[in-house]
Structure 1
C-alpha cells in the first residue's frame, strides 16, 4: 500500500520527504458505505449533471447571437454566462473571478481543510467514477489485489478490455462535453457525430480524452499528492481550528485486537479502541494513514471516518475515533479540557467578508457598465504639428465600441481646450457604429493653445443621449513646421 509520510507535529508543521515507492505503487482503495460516502455520491452526481447539462441550457442573448446560456465564443470574442456578457476588453472580470475562486478555496480551507478536494474537485469526481467502473468489472479491493500479477486468462482479458473500453467512453464523453462550451452545443454535437466538425474540435476531444483517461484511470492519487499545488500550500495556510479529518490518538492508543483489549482491561492495563484493522488506510483514496497525525496529502473526504465508525459499531464502541474535528480540540481532549468549536473566528469571517466585498464590487460594476465605450490613443509620430498659421495640431486614434445589438450613431466632442476644432477624418456628422462591433477613427484636434493640457473625448449616443468619455493630453509642438 502506498503511503505518504507527511505527519504533522504541533510545534512545527512541514511536509516530510515521501517514502520510497510512493510514486511507483498504485493505491487500490476499498469500497465503503456511510454518510460521507453518500455525500460524495451526491456531489459526484451533481457535478457531472452540471458539467454535461450546462451547455444545453438556453438563454436569449439578443438578435444574431447564440442562445447558449454558458458559452465562450472565440469567433466573436465573447463570454456568455447567462445574463452576463463579457468582451475581450473586460478580461479584468475574469481576473476578478479567479481571485474570487482563490479566496473561496482559502475560506473553505479555514473552515474544513481540503474539503473541496475531497468532494468537488474534477480529479476526485472523475477518479470516483473510474473507480466505480473498476469495482463493477473487477470486484472490490481484495479481488483486484488477487488479480494483480495473476496469470492472464480469457476472463481476465475480457475484464481488462471492458474496463478500459468504459473508461475510454467516459473520457471521450468528457472531452466532447468540454468543447461544447466553445460552440453552440446542439449544432456541434450533431457535427461531431456525423463527421462534419472541424479538425480542431476533433483534436481537442482527443486531447481531453487522453488527459481524462490518464489522470482518472492511472495517475489518480499521484495528481492529488504530487501534481496539485494545494498540498504544498497547506504548509502556509493549514489551520488547526479547521474541521479536518483527525484521529483521536488519546482514545485509540495503545492499539490492540478486540480480544486482546478485553484481556488487558480485565488486568487493569491500558488498551485503546483502535484494533489496528487498517480499514481507515484501505479505504483512503490517497493511501495515507490518518493515525499518524494531520497529513497535508489528506483530501478530507471522510471515507476513513465511515470505515472506522463501521468497525466501532460492530464492536459496540463509540463512534468518532476518526472524525471531522479541529486539531486544537484533539489536543484539548488529550489534556481533558472542554472542546471549543471555532468555525466562526477572525480568519474565517475576514476571508468571508472579503469574498462578499469582492463579489459585491464585481456585481455593482457589471450592473453599472455601459453598452458603449471609447478609448483614445495619442499619435506617437509626430506627437504634435505646428501649422503655418501658428496653431498646434495633435492626432488621435479613437476607438468606439458598440456592445448593443443594433447599429448606433454617436456625436464626438472634445472638451478642455479653448477655441479647438475637431475633425473626424472621413466623417461629416454623427459617427455610425455597427451592432456588436468596434469602429476606429482618425481624429485631429487643432487649437491655438501652446500649454500641455488634459482633454476629454466624449461620444454621445444620438438617440439615448447617453455619453461615454475617455481622457488624454494635448501636447504643444516643440520644433514645429
Structure 2
C-alpha cells in the first residue's frame, strides 16, 4: 500500500453540535404569581392531600390511632384493619395497581400527577407562596437578591427561612407520627423525652422537606425523579399535554392592542414571555414538548390572561395533543388506554376480594428435623411439630387445633388455646399414626386452626409425616 492509496480523513462536526453537561449549574428561577382557572383547580387537588396528610395521624379509631405503622409490634393499623408483615404481598399488589393507574393517566393526559397532586409540587407551591409573601413579587425578589446585605434584607430572609423551617418541621413531625403515636410524639419531642430515633427521624424529614421544597425545587423534578425520564415512552400523538400552538402563534412579536396583527404578518403570540416567567421549571413551552414540563398549566393561565387583554381567543397554549395540533382529532379511546383500564379494573377487583376475604389468622408448621420419627413401645409412629399460631385480629379468640390427611391419626398435646388480639404463640405437638395407615415414607398432612367463637376464622397449613423406610 502506498501513500496514494491512503484516504485523508478529517473530522467534520456540524456547527450546531456542542458539548452538553448532563448536570448544569442551577440558575435560580424567579417565578411570577398568576391566577387562573387551572390554579384554582389545583386548590382542589393540593389541599385534600395536605389536609389528609396532616389530619390522619390525629384521628382515633376504636381507641387507637386511625393510621399507625407500629414497627416494634409489627402491626400496621389502617382504619378498622390491622395488617402484619405476612400481608406484605398486599402492599406489593397495591403498588402495582398504583403504577398501572399512573401509566393509564400518563397515556391519557400526560403528567397530571406531577402538576396537581405530587407532594413535591404541592410542598414547593407552599414554599413559593411563603417566599412571595415575605420577599414580594418576582421583580422585588430579583432586586432583593442583587442588593447588598442590609438589616432589611437579612430580616426578610430570616422570616422566609423561618417560615420554611416551620412548615418543614410540621411535615417531619407528621411523617414520623405515622410510625410513632402522634399524641405521644409531640409532647415527647417538646420535652426531649422521645428518644434519639424519633428525634433523628424528625430532624431528617424536616431537613429533607426544607431542602427539596425550598432549595432544590425543580432540580428534584428534572434530575432526581425517574418519572420525568420514562414518561416519553408512554406518550403518543393522542396524549393530552400542555402545548403551544405554533400555527396560530407564529411569527411572534410585540404590537399594540388595536392594530390588525394578521395584516402585518404576525401571529397571536406577542412574545411577552409571561409563560416563561410563571414556569416553575424555567422552560419555554413555545420550544415544544420538553421532559422538564410537569403539566402544571401555569403557562396556560398566564397566556389566557394575555389573550383576554389583547381580545384574542384563548387557547394559544392549552391542553391538546400532537394530532390536534397537526389538524386532526384526538382519539380518546385507544388500545393502550383500554388495555390499561381493563388491567386496572381487574387488579382492583382482585385486590378488593383479597382484602375482604382475608382471614386474620396465620398458622405455620415446622417439623422437628433433629429426629425424623419416633417408634413407640406399642409400634405406633410419632412425628414432632412446632406450630406458630398468630391471632392477627384485635379481639380475643379461642382456637382449636386438629390434623387430617392420615386416617385415625392422633394429635397429642394441648389442642385448645386462647390468644389475645395480636398474640403470637409457639405450640409443640405430636402426631401419632399406625404404620398400616402409612403407604409411603412421606405422607402429606394438614393442620387446621379454627376459632371456636367465629366459624369463618380458620386456616390450614401443610406439612409431612415421616415413617421408617
TM-score between both structures, scaled by the size of structure 1: 0.86
Deviation for aligned residue 1:347: 2.3
1:67-82 superposed matches below 5 A:
67-82=64-79
1:201 paired with 2:192, answer no
Distance 1:349 1:44 in 2: 28
Q: Which consecutive unaligned segments of at least 5 residues does structure 1 have?
A: 1-15, 61-65
TM-score between both structures, scaled by the size of structure 2: 0.88
From 295, 302, 305, the equivalent of 1:307 is: 302
Distance 2:341 2:211 in 1: 36
Deviation for aligned residue 1:385: 4.9
From 343, 354, 362, the equivalent of 1:365 is: 354
- Give aligned pairs, total: 447
Distance 1:29 1:18 in 2: 25
Name the CA shift for 1:329/1:261 in 2 (closer, same or farther; >3 Å): farther
1:343 paired with 2:332, answer yes
User: 1:432 maps to which residue?
Assistant: 418
1:272-351 superposed matches below 5 A:
272-331=267-326, 333=327, 337=328, 339-340=329-330, 342-351=331-340
From 36, 46, 50, the equivalent of 2:52 is: 50
Superimposed CA distance per residue, residues 151-174 of structure 1 (whole angstroms, 9 cap, x where no aligned partner): 111111111111111111111111
Secondary structure at 2:61's aligned position in 1? coil
CA RMSD across the alignment = 2.4
Distance 1:298 1:421 in 2: 70
8 Å contact kept, 1:246–1:291 = yes
1:51-200 superposed matches below 5 A:
51-60=53-62, 66-200=63-197
Distance 2:145 2:129 in 1: 18
User: 2:12 maps to which residue?
Assistant: none
Greater RCO structure (CA 8 Å; 6+ sep)? 1
Name the CA shift for 1:221/1:53 in 2 (closer, same or farther; >3 Å): same
8 Å contact kept, 1:454–1:473 = yes
1:423 paired with 2:412, answer yes
8 Å contact kept, 1:69–1:82 = yes
Secondary structure at 2:33's aligned position in 1? coil
Deviation for aligned residue 1:408: 3.0
User: 1:413 maps to which residue?
Assistant: 402
Distance 2:251 2:118 in 1: 36
Distance 1:371 1:281 in 2: 55
Superimposed CA distance per residue, residues 132-169 of structure 1 (whole angstroms, 9 cap, x where no aligned partner): 11111111221222222321111111111111111111
> Larger deviation: 157-166 or 462-471?
462-471
Name the CA shift for 1:450/1:117 in 2 (closer, same or farther; >3 Å): same
Distance 2:217 2:275 in 1: 18
Distance 1:17 1:300 in 2: 29
From 437, 453, 473, the equivalent of 2:464 is: 473
Name the CA shift for 1:361/1:154 in 2 (closer, same or farther; >3 Å): same
Deviation for aligned residue 1:119: 1.0
8 Å contact kept, 1:392–1:450 = no
Distance 2:439 2:158 in 1: 82
User: 1:243 maps to which residue?
Assistant: 240
Superimposed CA distance per residue, residues 75-122 of structure 1 (whole angstroms, 9 cap, x where no aligned partner): 322112212221121111111221121112112212211111111111
Distance 1:19 1:308 in 2: 31
8 Å contact kept, 2:82–2:392 = no
